[in-house]
Structure 1
Amino acid sequence: MSFNTFGRVFRFTTWGESHGPALGAVVDGCPPGLALSEGDLQPFLDKRRPGTSRFTTQRQEPDQVRILSGVFEGRTTGTPISLMIENMDQRSKDYSEVAQAYRPGHADYAYDAKYGFRDYRGGGRSSARETAARVAAAGVARLVIPEVRIRAWVEAIGGDEINPENFDANEIDRNPFFCPDAAAAMRWEALIDAARKAGSSLGAVIA
């Protein structure tokens, strides 16, 4: 299977599954001598950690990252940096019904059609859980190119778009939707609650 490795000069490969014992990434191409600790990476993982509001998955994961290699006495050595995040709250029995049916809005069918195999326990490699490893690796990348900033936000949910005149970059981290429009974020709360009660789901647009 492909698409587990990203980048060329600076690159990382993610590993692990949603319901395996752990997942992580191996970062290669990081220059030596950069100050790096688990504490440098943890804030990014805390930001994406599940179970922080009623609008995210209720899976409770501490997402504590461990650096297993590539760092000595607080500095990168220039060798591969191995990062690991343990899975602590995987409940595979909750997915027994999913073994017999594809979930709409997930990669279940596409994964099965492409590879002829799927891990129905939360989606395996196709689970959003895999992004925790990407976030940890990206934390290392921030050290290599600290002057580069990437900004993203949710532009619309269920067809309800933000008002560009209300755009406030400082608002993005103040609500569970990473929305730069405070008024839209309030509307989305009611929109998502209604969809949940109806047993439905909503699409979104990320900018």
Structure 2
Amino acid sequence: MEQWEAVLFDLDGTLIDSEHFYYRSWQPILAENFGLTIDFDDWLRLFAGHTLLRNIEFLKTNWGIETSEAFMWKETRAAYAQADMRTIALMPHAEEILQQLKNAGKRIALVTSSYQTTVDTVLGHHGLLGYFEFFITRECVTQAKPNPEPYLQAVSRLQMPVAQIVAVEDTATGLRAAQTAGLACIAVSRQAVERARLTAADYIVENLREANDILL
């Protein structure tokens, strides 16, 4: 069994159960403004784990939808505020895995494509900010996942060999970023559609308790 000394967690879909929240916020915007209807599996398969700019480009490429980053930023932020991000629940066993890793003396950091405001709102609401040594958020990087820049920045801050560090991710986008940075990756998803895209991971599990068994 590998002896990892540091664990880099993704946020959305990994530590917090946010994908339904984002789907419920995006779907009315797409339907009302562009006449596009997607279901939750479509969201997971086509949009989850990507940046706003990438999703805008994806809408144009695949459906010919012309919109701007400024418009989608305004619409999505308004939807998130109305829905209240503090209602986003933790993934099962999220606090448990963080506590056990801390007790074991492991270094813990967060590497996410979300903004620091989201991190502060959701993890702050659940009282989990103190578990993390640092946060690599969207503001910190020029290129978000699947580019390896977020993980390379985290490795630089840890000042540890990559062999001692593992990433925990829930999407193919995050997996690609971690592996391109030279990291081992535990993929965790309860969604079958997502697990089918994660076969390149070092381990694939359905929940954080199973991930914890691998880490400790």
Q: Which TM class, normalised by the smaller chain length?
A: under 0.3
Bigger share in strand: 1
Q: Report which structure shows greater RCO (CA 8 Å, sep ≥6).
A: 2
Q: TM-score, normalised by structure 2?
A: 0.25
Q: TM-score, normalised on structure 1?
A: 0.25
Q: Which has the larger Rg?
A: 1
Point out the structure with the larger helix share: 2
